[in-house]
Amino acid sequence: MLEIDELSDFEKNISLKQYTTFKIGGNAKYFIAVYDEQTLKKALSLCKIYNFPFFVLGKGSNTLFDDRGFNGVVILNKIDFFQDLGGGRFSVGAGYSFSLLGNKLSRLGWSGLEFASGIPGSVGGAIFMNAGANGQEVSVTVEKVLYLHENGLLQEYTFDQINFSYRKSIFQELRGVIVSVIFSLRYSNEARNRQLKLIDYRKKTQPYSEKSAGCAFRNPKNDFAGALIEKVGLKGFKVGEACVSLKHANFIINESNASSTDVLKLIQAIKDKVFEETGIHLESEILYVPYK
């Protein structure tokens, strides 16, 4: 049994608001930022020994913490290296900014992740959710992923083993942490131009500077969640200080100091209204993290 001093690496009662794009949530009982694989292994080992629940956080998009916080360990993944392997292959830490990656690779003339620019998440989060936009998905650029299981096993997953589908990956079914990713891209003289056009379009059509978690709902087959929400008249609809964006209906905005309860009630109200009027079930894309 490890001594309780081993827990000195964990900070206590840290506000989670500052670590999410929603700016909502209470305190984490324990909190640790990890910058390398060794520290990550130690953090997971301590969680296992002390039977602490844990949650892995990247850039904090698509995440809604409970107002009471999280009664366990929040692991902030700051493993953010970038390595050019040559020939359009790049090894990138899971804590690296997905937006910065899309920007950097496009500037270098590599195509496949132009859509990533402006998406406020981490590389690990993008892989976990198979992030996508404008007809592109991160999955098509992935060669392999290095994953650390909660039992300490380090495993490499090839593309075929990850089981990517729309906003899905095998990692949603596992307990552990994405450590790094190897991407494989193709060269294109038009990569930078496409990236600039996409970021310009995003700024014009989405509440880019507002406090939100990104898209609130996954697009149903052959339709768009934002169009459905607008169709049933919910643009601008509010619950407390959580509001459906007037700029893009598939975004929920924290207008000032919204609570997690405000957001959850608004999500349910949207689901109910869309189903009542269209018969379509919307699936939330925002990951709610309960207090536990």
Spans of all domains in the chain: 4-77, 82-191, 208-286
Are 104 and 84 in contact by the 8 Å Cβ rule? The answer is no
Taking 60 as the threshold, does the pLDDT of residue 3 lie above it?
no
Residue 158 pairs in a beta bridge with 144
Taking 50 as the threshold, does the pLDDT of residue 1 lie above it?
no
Pick the CATH number of 208-286 from 3.40.50.10490, 2.30.110.10, 3.90.78.10, 3.40.50.720: 3.90.78.10
Q: What is the pLDDT of residue 121?
A: 93
- 228's CB contacts (< 8 A; 6+ apart) are 220, 274, 278, 280, 282
Topology classification of domain 4-77: 3.30.43
What is the rounded average pLDDT for all residues in the chain?
95
Residue 31 pairs in a beta bridge with 11, 74
Taking 80 as the threshold, does the pLDDT of residue 93 lie above it?
yes
CATH architecture of the domain with range 82-191 = 2-Layer Sandwich (3.30)
The helix or strand, by DSSP H or E, that contains position 199, with its residue range, turns out to be: helix 191-205
Mean pLDDT throughout 119-141?
92
Mean pLDDT throughout 104-130?
95
Taking 90 as the threshold, does the pLDDT of residue 8 lie above it?
no
Q: Which of 150, 174, 123, 147 is nearest to 42 (CA)?
A: 150
Q: Provide the 10 A C-beta neighbour count for residue 211.
A: 18
Residues that are catalytic: 167, 215, 285
User: What confidence tens digit (pLDDT) does each residue in 207-223 have?
Assistant: 988 999 999 999 999 99
The helix or strand, by DSSP H or E, that contains position 49, with its residue range, turns out to be: helix 37-49
Taking 80 as the threshold, does the pLDDT of residue 2 lie above it?
no
User: Please, which pLDDT band fits residue 292 given cuts at 50, 70 and 90?
Assistant: confident
